[in-house]
Amino acid sequence: MCTTNRKQCSRPATWAGFPSVRRLLFAVLWLLAFIGPAQAATGRMPDAMDVRSAEATLEPDGLPAQVRQVQLPFRWDHEFPGRGGKASYRIDLPAAAVPAGGPAALLLSGAGNQMAIWFNGALVATFGTLDDPGYDAAKGNQLVPVAAALHRRDGQPQQLLIQTTMQRQRGGGLASIRYGDEASLTPLYRAQQSWRNTSAIVYAVSLLLMGGLAGGLWLRQRDALYGCFALAALSGVARNLDRVWPEVPVPWPLWGAVVAVCYAGHIGLIARFVLLVLDRNPPWLVRSIYGALALSVTLACASFALALPKLWTTGLVILQAISIVCLPYVVHGALVARRRIAGVLMAAGTLAILAGAHDLLLVRMGLFGGAYYTLTPHAMFFFVMILAGLVVERYSRTVADYSALNANLAARVAEREEQLRGAFETMRLQQQEQAVLLERQRIMREIHDGVGSQLVGLLNVVTQATPDRSVVEEHVKLALDEMRMAVDSLQPTHDDLPTVLATLRYRLQPRLDAAGIELVWNVALIPAVAPFAAQAALQLQRILLEAFTNVLKHAAATRIVMQVSWHGDETPPMVRIVLTDNGRGLPAAPAADRPMGHGIANMRSRAQAIGARLHIETADAQAGGTRVLLDWPCALP
Amino acid sequence: MTITQVALVEDDTGMRERIARVVGADPSLALAFSASNATDILNWLADNPVDVLLVDLGLPDHPGLQVIRQCRSTQPACAVMVLSIFGDEANMVQAFEAGASGYLLKDGTEADLATHIRHLRAGGSPMSPVIARQLLRRWQTRTDPPPRPAAQAASAAPYSTAVAPERLSPREFEVLDLVSRGFTYVEVGVQMGVSASTVQTHIRNIYGKLDVHNKSEAVFEARNLGWLP
- Given an 8 Å threshold on Cβ–Cβ distance, is B133 in contact with A496? yes
Residue B30: the pLDDT is: 87
CA angle B150, B151, B153 (to 5 degrees): 65
Residue A87: the pLDDT is: 92
Q: What is the mean pLDDT of residues A476-482?
A: 81
Residue A2: the pLDDT is: 39
User: What confidence tier does A595 reach under pLDDT thresholds 50, 70, 90?
Assistant: very low
* Residue-range domains of chain B with CATH: 4-121 (3.40.50.2300), 129-224 (1.10.10)
Kindly list the domain boundaries of chain A, sorted by start residue.
Answer: 4-41+198-402, 50-190, 493-633
- Cβ proximity of A94 and A125 under 8 Å: no
CA A170 to centroid of chain Cα atoms:
48
- Cβ proximity of A59 and A87 under 8 Å: yes
Show residues of chain A in contact with B187, CB under 8 Å: 521
Q: What is the mean pLDDT of residues A83-107?
A: 83
Q: What is the pTM of this model?
A: 0.51
Closest CA to B141 of B151, B133, B130, B129: B133
Chain B closest CA to A535's CA: distance in Å?
A: 17
Identify which of A484, A501, A502 has the shortest CB distance to residue B86.
Answer: A484
Residue A408: the pLDDT is: 95
Residue B213: the pLDDT is: 52
Residue A381: the pLDDT is: 85
Residue B144: the pLDDT is: 52
Q: Which residue of B has its CA nearest to A490?
A: B87
Superfamily of domain A493-633 in the CATH hierarchy: Histidine kinase-like ATPase, C-terminal domain (3.30.565.10)
Q: What is the mean pLDDT of residues A165-187?
A: 87
Chain A closest CA to B9's CA: distance in Å?
A: 25
- Cβ proximity of A315 and A300 under 8 Å: yes
Q: Which residue of A has its CA nearest to B107?
A: A480
Q: Which of A491, A520, A564, A575 to mutate: most B Cβ within 10 Å?
A: A491
Show residues of chain A in contact with B134, CB under 8 Å: 492-493
- Given an 8 Å threshold on Cβ–Cβ distance, is A490 in contact with B133? no
Q: Which of A485, A500, A506 to mutate: most B Cβ within 10 Å?
A: A506
Per-residue pLDDT 10s for chain B (229 aa) are 578 888 999 988 888 898 898 888 888 888 999 999 999 999 998 888 888 899 998 888 888 888 998 888 888 888 888 888 766 766 778 888 888 877 877 777 777 777 777 777 677 777 888 888 888 888 877 655 444 444 444 443 444 444 455 788 889 999 999 998 889 888 999 999 999 889 988 988 888 887 755 544 444 444 444 444 3
Show residues of chain B in contact with A501, CB under 8 Å: 181-182
Instruction: Answer whether residue A473 shows pLDDT above 80.
Output: yes
Give the residue, A370 or A620, on which the prediction is more confident: A620
Backbone φ and ψ of A281, nearest 5°: -125, 65
How far apart are the C-alpha atoms of B106 and B83, rounded to whole Å? 6
Q: What is the mean pLDDT of residues A288-301?
A: 93
- Torsion, Cα A223 A226 A227 A230, to 10 degrees, reads -170
Identify which of A491, A521, A525 has the shortest CB distance to residue B130.
Answer: A491
The pairing of beta strand B79-84 with beta strand B102-105: parallel
- Cβ proximity of A334 and A343 under 8 Å: yes
Show residues of chain A in contact with B178, CB under 8 Å: none
Residue A265: the pLDDT is: 92
Identify which of B86, B134, B182 has the shortest CB distance to residue A521.
Answer: B182
Residue A430: the pLDDT is: 92
Architecture in CATH of A50-190? Sandwich (2.60)
Q: Which residue of A has its CA nearest to B137?
A: A493
Show residues of chain A in contact with B130, CB under 8 Å: 491-493, 499, 503
How far apart are the C-alpha atoms of A298 and A312, rounded to whole Å? 9
Show residues of chain B in contact with A503, CB under 8 Å: 128-130, 182
Q: Each residue of A360-419: pLDDT tens digit?
A: 888 888 777 777 778 888 888 888 888 888 888 888 998 999 999 999 999 999 999 999
- Cβ proximity of A165 and A86 under 8 Å: yes
- What's the distance, Cα to Cα, between the start and end of chain B in Å? 49
Give the residue, A526 or A521, on which the prediction is more confident: A521
Residue A373: the pLDDT is: 77
Is there a common fold for A50-190 and A493-633?
Answer: no
Instruction: Answer whether residue A427 shows pLDDT above 90.
Output: yes
- Within the 124-183 window of chain B, which residues sit less than 8 Å (CB to CB) from chain A? 128-130, 133-134, 179-183
How far apart are the C-alpha atoms of A173 and A112, rounded to whole Å? 6
DSSP result, A261-286? HHHHHHHHHHHHHHHHHHT---HHHH
Residue percentage of chain A with pLDDT more than 70: 88
Count how many pairs of residues, chain A against chain B, have C-beta atoms within 8 Å.
54
Asked if ipTM goes beyond 0.85, one says no
A interface with B, Cβ–Cβ below 8 Å: 484, 487-488, 490-493, 496, 498-499, 501-506, 509-510, 521, 523, 525
Identify which of B134, B182, B184 has the shortest CB distance to residue A523.
Answer: B182
The pairing of beta strand A104-109 with beta strand A141-146: antiparallel
Chain B closest CA to A419's CA: distance in Å?
A: 30
